[in-house]
A and B are shown apart, each in its own frame.
Chain A
Amino acid sequence: MKEEILRIENVIRKVNGITYLDNINFNVFKGEIMGLIPLDNHGKSQLIELILQNVPLHFGRVYFDDQLVNYYEHSSMSKNRVSLLEQDTNLIEDLKVTDNIGVLNQTFHDFIIHNRRLRQETAALLKQLGIVIEIEEYVSELSILEKAIIELIRAALNGAQLIILNELSNFLSIDELSYFQRLLVHYTKQGLSFLYIANHHEEAFKICQRVALFEKGRIIKVISAKDFSTAVLEPYMLTFAHPPTVSEQNNHVGILKCQQLSTANLETLNFSVKKGECLTILDMDNRGIQDLAEIISGYAKPRSGKLIVDGRAIPFTQKRNFLPDGVAYIPENPVQKSLFFNLSYLENLTFLLDRKLDRRIIGKKVLNSIKEEYRNLVGVEIEAPDLWGLEMQSLYNLVYFRLLLYSPEVVFIMQPFSQADMYLRGRIIQLINMFKEKELAVVILAVSISDTLTVTDRLLILEDGKLAPQGGRINFANSD
């Protein structure tokens, strides 16, 4: 007989008059990894909040460990024994592993911290789990995987009965994810339950016992493991069009060449990209592409090597924007990182244009001409006095369209599909294909292969900072 750890029953949750959860119904059993695939992100954060804390509901009931903890008449605002594990760590980065595990948990009630005992206990715990992490290391020095592991261990020690895993593949590489999933299975055997939120069914199907599809604040389907198949999902999913392949006439060989580039985590990286081509660099251990991203965004210099764009070597000076050299960079989650919400749409669109035009003041005539040109692409949004209230797709349009103004030769995109729902992913694919049609060379830096395959022409695999031998290089342009 299965025991339910979480049961959400007919819950309607409205915030400021907007219905985020609309008659939602689902449950998680003890020791189960329950998948949740959000087809759109509407209501996802409200659902997570509802599971973590007993916040007011418009209607419905929430049961935790078979106890009614929240219902339409009375919401106590108490917290449930649930932990959230996501990209932004909840660990204290300036403390050591032992302190994060042993001291910063609710079971620690001592007045004096016995460092020696803590170290022994932590070491024994990690040994028991077969994990090799330096316990005296500061958390800030750990890799993303190590941080995730420590957070998981801490949550389990804290007595969490359910752990929400929010889009792990956005920050863990394929190898890291598979290691982490083995740890999840270990904890399920101890009765811990997981709500595994993933954007891709391939990822969820591998590890989950059941998967729920979430759209418009409702659960629209619950699928059991034995029914897992792409065919079952077909009526619910968008199928993304295949990318245009590199045209035959495109003979501009290697608009971007990376020669012998070395950093702390990269070893003599060599690759080249043609105009109108999309190359994906898949990093199996999520370190090399971080270094590459720091170089492209001007925050770090390589130890050695060159980046040559259209025959010109780029000088590596720190804190420098490479846009004038024809290299643009779109960071992960660009909306939060590269847009200014209090500025108008046009101001955001023409941001940094002064550098491109090499003028301090940009004339009204130029601005009007840009406005009219982009009005055809984005419509009335071009008149928006600020970015608040714009849809996520419009904000992504702005990030990508803005680059066209600077007419770069090469665009590096870090994890373009990170935290994007199915509809947004479809739009990002269109935008990347637009870059390709405009003859831009696109380099995608990714830790997860999903979706990038729909736009990429070539795939390079980085393992331990080195490109994998020929077997890891797949050409998609000439294959079906």
Chain B
Amino acid sequence: MHRKKGFYLMDRIFLVFLLMVILLMTLFFCFVPFALKQGTYLLVFLFAFLLATVFYVTYRWIYIPYQESNKTLRLFADGYIFKGVFDLRIHFNHELFLAMQKFREIIDTKELIEGSKKHAEYLALQNQINPHFLYNTLEGIRSEALIEGVEIIANMTEALETFFRYTISDMDKLATLEEEIVNVETYCTIQRFRFGEKIEFKIESPEDHDPEIFHAKIPKLTLQPIVENAVFHGIEPKMGKGLVTLKVLATPSRLLITVSDNGVGMAEEHVHRLNDQLRGASLTYIKKDKETGGIALLNVNNRIKLLFGDEYGMYLYSKAGAGTDVEISLPLIL
């Protein structure tokens, strides 16, 4: 456990207190008698100047950092930040700093990430289905369908099998953007069996993009829940054709993915409430009723924030009748 550079707040308070005691003692035992004896007030003015300096140092060195730390703790309590609380500019004392570091270690363990992973594993794990049993069954259905010449069922089963294989296996690993996109395409293929040509899926990237960005690592199952959300809440209630567009853009430090749909959009208050929830990482939504909606988005957002920090996550742009854009910000890991 390393020691943080610089003084802790309690050290600062102690140092300033010590300085004040020295100054006061100097005042009473030296300056005042000397000044009165000599009949000059120059030293008294000098002392007043030193005292003003002490007050200024107290303000800049203690009061402002104290207010800043308090503000960060308040933001943590209000759910604005999650990991940011561990990165206080000035910690109160060394023991509290050590305790915070330990707390961060505990948070970083799998337990909390598991909480959000559950949703992604919902289909198979909740029903205690053995994945291999599921794959074998689907493979069996596909073979029978091919023998009977029903190609559509064979294709459908193949897509479903591919989707489950990707979804259920190795949840902890990061996947490449390319793998994620393939999974979304498989998901859209499955959905097309239901919606026909109502759903179109498109990928866009800048003309001058580096092809390497498709090998960037992102948390597994980041994109599919968002596309699923776009299909069910945006496109399904809409009359006519729906388009889901995936826009990818990279900067030297970030990967920006935008999932847009031209669906029914959301009411302003709903967008505002969701963006407030997406701003921080909170697990309180898990206890809430599923009817409140947006759980998939909050889930993905929480996983991103828990894995990479508060500065990454998601943001939503939507308006009733104007579709929805979900912007995902991730660190660029190549």
**Using a CB–CB distance below 8 Å, which chain A residues touch chain B?**
1-4, 9-10, 22-23, 25, 29, 59, 61, 66, 72-74, 218-222, 224, 232, 235-236
Give bound CA distance, A219 to B327, whole Å. Answer: 12
CB-nearest residue of chain B to A9: B311
Q: Check A236–B322 contact: CB distance below 8 A.
A: yes
Q: Check A73–B72 contact: CB distance below 8 A.
A: yes
Which of the residues A10, A73, A220, A222 comes within 8 Å of B68, measured between beta carbons? Answer: A73
CB-nearest residue of chain A to B87: A73
Q: Check B206–A59 contact: CB distance below 8 A.
A: no
Given contacts A1-B250, A72-B71, contact A23 B322 (CB under 8 A): no
B-side interface residues, number (CB < 8 Å): 36
Residues of A within 8 A of B320 (CB): 235
Q: Check B319–A3 contact: CB distance below 8 A.
A: no
Which of the residues B213, B276, B279, B319 comes within 8 Å of A220, measured between beta carbons? Answer: B319
Residues of B within 8 A of A9 (CB): 311, 329
Give bound CA distance, A59 to B77, whole Å. Answer: 13
Q: Check B88–A73 contact: CB distance below 8 A.
A: yes
Give bound CA distance, A1 to B205, whole Å. Answer: 11
Q: Check B276–A23 contact: CB distance below 8 A.
A: yes
Q: Check B210–A25 contact: CB distance below 8 A.
A: no
Q: Considering the complex, which residues of chain B in the window 242-284 have a beta carbon less than 8 Å from any beta carbon of chain A?
A: 247, 249-254, 265, 272, 275-276, 279
Cβ of B92 within 8 Å of any chain A Cβ, yes or no, is no
Residues of A within 8 A of B247 (CB): 224
Q: Check B71–A221 contact: CB distance below 8 A.
A: no
Give bound CA distance, A61 to B75, whole Å. Answer: 13
CB A184 to nearest CB in B, in angstroms, measures 20
Which of the residues B81, B251, B275 comes within 8 Å of A3, measured between beta carbons? Answer: B251
Q: Check B75–A25 contact: CB distance below 8 A.
A: no
Give bound CA distance, A220 to B89, whole Å. Answer: 33
CB A239 to nearest CB in B, in angstroms, measures 14
Task: Pick from A10, A29, A219 the residue with the most CB of B within 10 Å.
Answer: A10
Give bound CA distance, A74 to B329, whole Å. Answer: 23
Q: Check B68–A74 contact: CB distance below 8 A.
A: yes
Q: Check A221–B319 contact: CB distance below 8 A.
A: yes
Cβ of B34 within 8 Å of any chain A Cβ, yes or no, is no
Residues of A within 8 A of B249 (CB): 2
Main secondary structure of the interface of A (DSSP, over half): strand
Complex interface bits, B271-300 against A, C-beta within 8 A gives 1, otherwise 0: 010011001000000000000000000000
Cβ of B315 within 8 Å of any chain A Cβ, yes or no, is yes
27 residue pairs from A and B, CB less than 8 Å apart: A1-B210, A1-B213, A1-B250, A3-B252, A4-B251, A9-B311, A10-B279, A23-B272, A25-B327, A29-B251, A59-B75, A59-B81, A59-B279, A66-B253, A72-B72, A72-B75, A72-B80, A73-B71, A73-B72, A73-B89, A74-B68, A218-B272, A219-B317, A221-B322, A232-B322, A235-B319, A235-B320
Give bound CA distance, A473 to B69, whole Å. Answer: 65
Cβ of B196 within 8 Å of any chain A Cβ, yes or no, is no
CB A72 to nearest CB in B, in angstroms, measures 6
Q: Check B251–A1 contact: CB distance below 8 A.
A: yes
Residues of B within 8 A of A29 (CB): 251
Give bound CA distance, A218 to B268, whole Å. Answer: 11
Q: Check A222–B279 contact: CB distance below 8 A.
A: no
Cβ of B325 within 8 Å of any chain A Cβ, yes or no, is yes
CB A412 to nearest CB in B, in angstroms, measures 39
CB-nearest residue of chain A to B210: A1
Residues of A within 8 A of B115 (CB): none
Residues of B within 8 A of A2 (CB): 206, 249-251
6 tightest Cβ-Cβ pairs between the two chains A and B: A235-B322, A25-B315, A73-B68, A235-B321, A73-B72, A10-B279
CB B249 to nearest CB in A, in angstroms, measures 7
CB A231 to nearest CB in B, in angstroms, measures 10
Residues of A within 8 A of B265 (CB): 235
CB-nearest residue of chain A to B317: A221
Give bound CA distance, A316 to B311, whole Å. Answer: 65
Q: Check B317–A222 contact: CB distance below 8 A.
A: yes
Give bound CA distance, A72 to B253, whole Å. Answer: 21
Q: Check A236–B88 contact: CB distance below 8 A.
A: no
Residues of A within 8 A of B68 (CB): 73-74
Residues of B within 8 A of A73 (CB): 68-69, 71-72, 84, 88-89
Residues of A within 8 A of B75 (CB): 59, 72
Q: Considering the complex, which residues of chain B in the window 48-88 have a beta carbon less than 8 Å from any beta carbon of chain A?
A: 68-69, 71-72, 75, 80-81, 84, 88
CB-nearest residue of chain B to A61: B311
CB-nearest residue of chain A to B80: A59
Residues of A within 8 A of B325 (CB): 221-222
CB B333 to nearest CB in A, in angstroms, measures 14
Residues of B within 8 A of A59 (CB): 75, 80-81, 279
Give bound CA distance, A10 to B315, whole Å. Answer: 9
Give bound CA distance, A29 to B254, whole Å. Answer: 12
Give bound CA distance, A48 to B139, whole Å. Answer: 60
Give bound CA distance, A74 to B68, whole Å. Answer: 7
Residues of A within 8 A of B72 (CB): 72-73
Residues of B within 8 A of A221 (CB): 317, 319, 322, 325
Give bound CA distance, A284 to B200, whole Å. Answer: 47
CB A475 to nearest CB in B, in angstroms, measures 36
CB A52 to nearest CB in B, in angstroms, measures 22
Give bound CA distance, A111 to B28, whole Å. Answer: 50
Residues of B within 8 A of A224 (CB): 247
Residues of B within 8 A of A219 (CB): 317
CB-nearest residue of chain A to B315: A25
Q: Check A236–B315 contact: CB distance below 8 A.
A: no
Give bound CA distance, A467 to B89, whole Å. Answer: 65
* 8 other A-B residue contacts (CB within 8 Å) besides A73-B89, A220-B319: A4-B251, A10-B315, A23-B272, A23-B276, A29-B251, A66-B252, A72-B80, A73-B72
Give bound CA distance, A149 to B45, whole Å. Answer: 54
Give bound CA distance, A43 to B75, whole Å. Answer: 22
CB A7 to nearest CB in B, in angstroms, measures 8
